[in-house]
């Protein structure tokens, strides 16, 4: 009896080649694939002005002066200053890697804040894109926003491992400020920052009072699979895991998401929330948008933050 071993050999060879292909693909493309996650807008040191859109006003301009890039708000004619209801203090601080990061401490002019928000923004843009958060100031909040490594005027390279280092260093800096002591300290993470926030909160929950996640997602692998199918789940590295972290976080949580969010699927935000511990609140926005809470729902969100912290 003659046995043909060629088909068996072919199957084994094919399987071996497939394994080698997957391993090589992962090692060669995971770095470039992961770079797709961060889209930093970088300023040159010599940058002195930008134009931005205030959703509550008009096209305005920011003029940066001094070595700390202190912003001044100007009208479209680049001459007349704008009398805002808040002040912006430009801050330079070091992260644990030794890189200098740029942050803005924003506070209302005519009241003493009782809450401090540490904002962790999304994967793109820079500080001036975050000024929509100023809608919270009239409800007794002050906000510290900062640019991750490689964003805006911040030094370093835009990497996900650096994003976590930056967030922890920003919290360290914030705890040194006298105007933060005596206020309720809340981490407010948005989109990529919403995935990052539970990691920071679980590591430092003894130093904070609450956590807000807006438009966040469960894991990078879940996000990649939504966009690129199973190959995305294989190729992307998790780095830090929000799902694991949210299970160890024990303090109050407010999760915010739109069911019609076209950037981060609603079910990924809900998945992260469902795995969180009590006490927790889920706020489903009616608007079909991503990260529009501060634009349309600042009153409701402020009340929910106050309510969950019994303040």
Question: Is the per-residue pLDDT at 250 higher than 70?
Answer: yes
Q: What is the pLDDT of residue 51?
A: 82
Q: What is the pLDDT confidence band of residue 18, given thresholds at 50, 70 and 90?
A: very low
The DSSP-derived string for 75-102 is -TTSSSB---SEEEEEEEEE-TTS-EEE
Average pLDDT rounded to a whole number, residues 131-160: 96
Q: Which tens digits make up the pLDDT trace of 184-214?
A: 999 999 999 999 999 999 999 999 999 999 9
- The mean of the pLDDT values for the chain is 88
Task: Provide the pLDDT for residue 87.
Answer: 95
More confident residue, 289 or 55: 289
Alpha carbons 296 and 55: distance in angstroms, whole number: 10
Structure confidence at residue 165 (pLDDT): 98
Is residue 172 within 8 Å of 135, Cβ to Cβ? Answer: no
120 vs 79, higher pLDDT: 120
How far is it, in rounded angstroms, from Cα 40 to Cα 44? Answer: 13
Domains in the chain, CATH or no CATH each: 36-40+86-308 (3.40.50.1820)
Q: Compute the distance between CA of residue 31 and CA of residue 237 in angstroms, rounded to an integer.
A: 9
- pLDDT at residue 21 in the model: 41
């Amino acid at each position: 009896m003659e046995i043909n071993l060629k088909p068996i050999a072919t199957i084994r060879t094919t399987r071996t080649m497939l394994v080698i292909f997957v391993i090589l693909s992962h090692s060669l493309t995971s770095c470039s694939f992961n770079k797709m996650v961060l889209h930093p807008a970088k300023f040159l040191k010599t940058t002195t002005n930008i134009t931005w859109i205030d959703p509550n006003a008009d096209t305005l301009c920011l003029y940066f002066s001094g070595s700390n890039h202190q912003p001044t708000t100007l009208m479209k004619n680049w001459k007349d200053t704008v009398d805002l209801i808040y002040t912006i203090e430009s801050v330079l601080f070091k992260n644990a890697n030794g890189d200098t990061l740029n942050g803005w401490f924003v506070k209302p002019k005519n009241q003493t804040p009782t809450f401090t928000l540490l904002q962790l923004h999304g994967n793109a843009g820079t500080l001036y894109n975050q000024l929509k958060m100023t809608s919270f100031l009239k409800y007794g909040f002050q906000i510290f926003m900062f640019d991750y490594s490689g964003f805006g005027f911040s030094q370093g390279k835009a990497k996900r491992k650096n994003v976590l280092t930056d967030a922890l260093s920003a919290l360290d800096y914030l705890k040194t400020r006298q105007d933060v002591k005596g206020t309720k300290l809340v981490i407010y993470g948005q989109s990529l920052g919403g995935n990052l926030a539970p990691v920071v909160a679980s590591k430092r929950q003894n130093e904070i009072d609450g956590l807000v996640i807006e438009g966040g997602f469960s894991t990078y692998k879940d996000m990649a699979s939504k966009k690129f199918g199973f190959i995305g789940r294989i190729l992307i590295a998790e780095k830090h895991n929000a799902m694991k972290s949210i299970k160890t976080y024990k303090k109050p949580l407010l999760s915010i998401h739109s069911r019609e969010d076209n950037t981060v699927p609603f079910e990924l935000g809900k998945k992260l929330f469902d795995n969180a511990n009590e006490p927790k609140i889920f706020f489903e926005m009616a608007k079909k948008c991503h990260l529009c809470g501060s634009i349309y729902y600042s009153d409701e969100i402020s009340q929910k933050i106050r309510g969950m912290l019994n303040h």
